Amino acid sequence: MIENAIIKKKYQSNLICLIVGVILIAVTVALAIFKGNVDKKDKEASTPFADAYNNETLKADDMVYVDLTDELYEFGYYDDTERYYFGFDEYDDMYIIRCSQSKEEDIAKEIKEKGTSHVVGTVTKLKKEVLDMALEVFNESQSYEENKMTQEFFDGYFQGVGLWVGASKTSATGIAVLAVFAGLGAFIAILAGTVGVVKFKRGLKGLTDVDKDRIANELSNPATEYIKKCNIFLTPNYLVYADSGFEAIPYEEMNWAYQFTQRYNFVPILTNIHIWLKDGKEKQVGNMSVNVVKKDDIIKQVFEAIYRHNPNVQFGYTEELKQQFGKKKK
């Protein structure tokens, strides 16, 4: 490691990021296990959907179950994950069931094999358009007028709710959301930390102890400039970059440098400096996020320092310079 407080701090930041990622993985796993236990307890405590109807104790988010004995009859859908069906139990009581197409296929298979399917889920309030479609489809399926439902009877029968198969209660869903965010954070932290640590080690790998001592001495030289916004040191003989990686580039080895802006859907998200060396290698330094102001001035300051130490370096991007310098040597 280079004996410099800032360099060491930057390396430690990448290492801490990696450790935080590992901790977040453990948190994600713990939350997933906890959610599984909560779901299991909720299902064990579920009550018959019919009892909730008859006792008029229907509450959205309550966990209920129905033992279906007939294959589900589809009456509407939005996509493969949100479809609506009529379902019947052994007493010919009818329910509105919400589930995915794959879940409906599982239910149909179980009924065919066992004669019944025990489905568990939460009580869910149904959209008006779903209820309207249910009434319309049901009445169209009836050949006799006396078997059709009136709006009043329909509303009283279904009470505006259905059973959402496989859904978790809000409390368990909240745990799942936390697990997702923790998992996403773990992925980002581990990726950023790993990349930073690996790049740091790779940048230091080619340096001898003599090189490291020389760079450390130059970093402490009063003539050295440190540009914090892009994490670049401009020493008497080196451009040193330490942030999400480490590079110590002798000015005399540089051939070509240019500013590069990375975009996502045409929106700038990252600006840095690409430097091509005499041996054909490319280095990327000075990463600056979109919130860094006066990036052009910062890069101009870096380019002016490079030019002072090596007037032969070419600056700016053109196809001619790319053809001349931008080809990696084998």
Give the amino acid at 152: E
The whole-number average pLDDT for the span 7-25 is: 90
Checking if the pLDDT of 329 tops 60, the result is no
The whole-number average pLDDT for the span 304-322 is: 90
Buried-state track 95-104, b at ≥16 Cβ within 10 A, e below 16: bbbbbbeebb
247 phi/psi in degrees, rounded to 5: -140, 135
Bigger pLDDT: 43 vs 125:
125
8 Å CB contact between 2 and 216: yes
Tell me the β-bridge partners of 48: 65
Checking if the pLDDT of 330 tops 60, the result is no
The whole-number average pLDDT for the span 146-173 is: 87
115 phi/psi in degrees, rounded to 5: 90, -10
pLDDT of residue 185: 92
List, for residues 89-120, the tens digit of each pLDDT value: 998 899 999 999 999 999 999 999 999 999 99
At what angle are helices 170-205 and 5-44 packed, to 10 degrees?
A: 150
pLDDT of residue 128: 93
pLDDT of residue 201: 86
For the record, the structure tokens of 285 come out as 């330094």
Determine the Cα–Cα distance for residues 134 and 136; give it in Å rounded to an integer. Answer: 6
Determine the Cα–Cα distance for residues 273 and 305; give it in Å rounded to an integer. Answer: 13
What is the distance of C-alpha 230 from the center of its chain? 27
pLDDT of residue 46: 83
Architecture of the structural domain at 208-325: Roll (2.30)
List, for residues 176-229, the tens digit of each pLDDT value: 888 999 999 999 999 888 888 888 888 888 788 898 888 899 888 898 999 899
At what angle are helices 151-158 and 128-141 packed, to 10 degrees?
A: 120
> Closest Cα to residue 288, out of 276, 280, 279, 297?
297
Domain extents in the chain = 1-45+169-205, 63-166, 208-325
Work out the mean pLDDT of the chain and round it to a whole number: 88
